Each structure stands twice: as structure tokens, then as C-alpha cells.
Amino acid sequence: MEITKKQFTSVAQESRKKLDFKAGDTVRVWSKILEKGKTRLQAFEGLVLSRKHGTESGATFTIRKVASGVGVERIFPLYSPNVDKIEVIRKSKTRRSKLYYIRTKAVKEVKKRLKSVTLSKEEPEEVKSE
């Protein structure tokens, strides 16, 4: 028996619909990337900030991670064929459905670290030009 494309997508949609993750969970998303005619998988792991539009066809979720000291956010469509799989790594309990305040919280922590670093270092002496 041959599986048609329509049957395959409905199976994938059902499995994605059953995924149980929400804001505050840490997930790893494997997305397909086309390079030089070949597809490869690339993982993006981070904290789920929000999940929008429930389980309808246009459902999306936002993930944030810090890479090299810079915050990176990506918005993934839940039912996209370019998303190979979604792995829930860690579940957590939150009291909000959208965690947008994490953006400013992370910035404040970085600023505190910079202040402590600059206070602990001695100021360099200025070079006198003659």
C-alpha cells in the first residue's frame, strides 16, 4: 500500500498536535536546511517564549537562546515541513503564557556583569603625547 502525500501530512499534523510543550519549556527544533542541492538538519535549542494560535494550521512558537553572548530568537511554524522534529528537553512550571519579560531580564543581567567587571579592573593610564 502506497502512502499518499495527503495521508503523510495528516499523520505529521496529528503527531505535532499531540506535542505537549508550553512557554518556559526547553526544546530542540531540528530544521531542514538546503545547501548545495543537499538537505541537512540543524538544531536550534532554547527556551520557549510563547506559543500562538493553538493547534490551528497557522500555529507558531517562539524560541530564544543566547549564542556568544547575544540573544537569538526564532519563530517556527508548528506544522511546517521544514521542521523535521521537535524534542522537549526540559519542562518547567511558569505562571505566564508569554515570557517576553525574559528579554529585558537577560539584558539587565548582562549589564550587571559588565558593571562588576569594569569596577574590578583598574583604569588604564592615559598615554601622554609629547
65 in any annotated domain: yes
28 in any annotated domain: yes
Would you say residue 126 has pLDDT above 70? no
Closest by CA to 106, choosing from 73, 74, 58, is 73
33 in any annotated domain: yes
Would you say residue 114 has pLDDT above 80? no
30 in any annotated domain: yes
67 in any annotated domain: yes
41 in any annotated domain: yes
Residue 60, pLDDT score: 93
Judged by phi (left if over 0) then psi (alpha if -120 to 50, else beta), residue 112 lies in: alpha
Question: Which residues, 6 or more positions from 4, have their beta carbon under 8 angstroms from its beta carbon?
Answer: none
CATH number of the domain enclosing 89: 2.30.30.790
Number of domains in the chain: 1
pTM over 0.75: no
100 in any annotated domain: yes
125 in any annotated domain: no
Q: For residue 44, give its domain range.
A: 5-120
DSSP state letter for 79: T
> What's the mean pLDDT in 63-90?
91
Would you say residue 5 has pLDDT above 80? no
Q: How confident is the model at residue 49 (pLDDT cuts 50, 70, 90)?
A: very high
